[in-house]
Amino acid sequence: MKFYCELKKVVDDSYDIEIGHKLSDTLINDIQNGLVGKIKKFAVVTDSIVENLYAKEIFDKLIANGFKTDLFVIPEGEKSKTRPMKEFVEDSMLNKGYRRDCCVLAIGGGVVTDLAGFVAGTFGRGVPFINYATTLLSAADASVGGKTAVDTPLATNLIGMFNQPKKVYIDIDTWKTLPARQLSSGLSETIKHACLGDLEMFEYLEKNIEKVLQNNVEACEFIAERNCRVKYNVVMKDERESGLREILNLGHTVGRAIETVSDYKLLHGEALSIGMVAQVKLGNELGFISEENMNRVISLYKRANLPITIPDYIDKNVLVKKLYTDKKVRDGKLRFVFQKEIGDVMCFGDNAYGLEIAENQIAKIIENM
């Protein structure tokens, strides 16, 4: 005997991204006006740095407006983006009586939004969540697109799910409290977006990158909006990374590997900067980018106060082997995404944006960096 379960459905996962200044009151007003329906319980997930900077204020406002709220704080940094930390948040929520009638509110950078979004996707088989991004890196990358994940000792971002938020808030005022190193790290993803899809933004950064580093309001608003536009144009066409969305991994094959091999001494943006340099150097050898444009990319990363060479403490042989944990690997073969000059990407066939690369090709580039 056989039964057929027909489960076809159309799901609208659309959401707003609001870019502005001091958006905490806007967030509270949206919740009061039904952003997540009639939910009255909010699990606020943040980290040990953002807790006192922004999360506590929003927590207090939720309480003052009659919502049941608890703060769940994880240690800051990439080392907190793990399965055990996800379990800690989940168990803490259960212990506080949270069930399916709640919403997860992520306040912080990419580690917090990745972890909290993953928690929301599995807690009670799925509860709504909201992202309140407090770093340039999360504004440029983690808070848009719905990719949530944790890292493991063997690989980064391979355990996770696609889970779209109800809304994303990008509060540019929070960038003022970022250490200079964190601001530069966020600029790394911004430059990557310009390289793969926005020549105008790249040229703007060439003229104004020091203004961004000085938190110039106009410059910060410009890159916040353009970052979202580039990523939206990709995600809208390929929400679940069946082809085109792979281009957002530009520079990440080497970048993610070196981030892990450094034991997270390098911030994500710093590791990505090195990965982008490796990508343009190999791309230049393969004829995808001119030497002039290769040097423009490297120069811009250097001006953003980001590393462009591999630190001496990195074992390059270990790094090469770590490349095989990249999620673009197919049948044990390394695959790279390449930019096409500046503002475009290489396409290698019908919806194919990754090119198979021999280990010795990238090993040579790494050895010379």
Long-range contacts of 228-235 (CB under 8 A, 24+ apart): 228/17, 228/19, 228/139, 228/144, 228/170, 229/198, 230/193, 230/194, 230/196, 230/197, 230/198, 230/201, 231/140, 231/141, 231/144, 231/145, 231/193, 232/17, 232/144, 233/197, 234/197, 235/144, 235/145, 235/146
- Sign, CA torsion 60/65/69/75: negative
pLDDT at 171: 95
How many whole angstroms separate alpha carbon 165 and alpha carbon 256? 25
pLDDT beneath 70: ranges in the chain: 9-11, 142-143, 235-243
Average pLDDT, the chain: 92
Q: Token match 């200044």: residue?
A: 21
Length reported for the chain: 369
| Rounded CA separation 118/62 (Å) | 23
Distance from C-alpha of 362 to C-alpha of 254, rounded to nearest angstrom: 9
Picking from 353, 168, 357, 185, the residue whose alpha carbon sits closest to that of residue 266 is 185
From the list 141, 293, 332, the residue with the least C-alpha distance to 202 is 293
Contact (CB, 8 A) for 158 and 78: no
Give all domains of the chain, ordered by start, each with its CATH number: 16-177 (3.40.50.1970), 180-367 (1.20.1090.10)
- What gap in Å lies between CA 123 and CA 210, rounded to an integer? 43
Task: Render pLDDT for 336-358 as a digit per residue (tens, 0 to 9).
Answer: 999 999 999 999 988 889 999 99
115-162 per-position pLDDT tens digit: 999 999 999 999 999 999 999 988 877 667 778 999 988 878 889 998
Amino acid 158: pLDDT: 84
Residue 42 main-chain phi, psi, to 5 deg = -125, 125
Cα separation, 46 vs 75, in Å, equals 9
Give dist(CA 348, CA 358) in Å, integer.
16
Residue 167 β-bridge partners: 16
**Helix 291-303 with 199-213: angle, nearest 10 deg:** 20
* Predicted pLDDT at 237: 65
Cα→Cα distances 7→10, 13, 348, Å: 10, 18, 35
Q: Alpha-carbon torsion 39, 88, 124, 163, what sign?
A: positive
Q: Provide the whole-model pTM.
A: 0.89
Question: How many of the other CB atoms lie within 10 Å of CB of 333?
Answer: 13
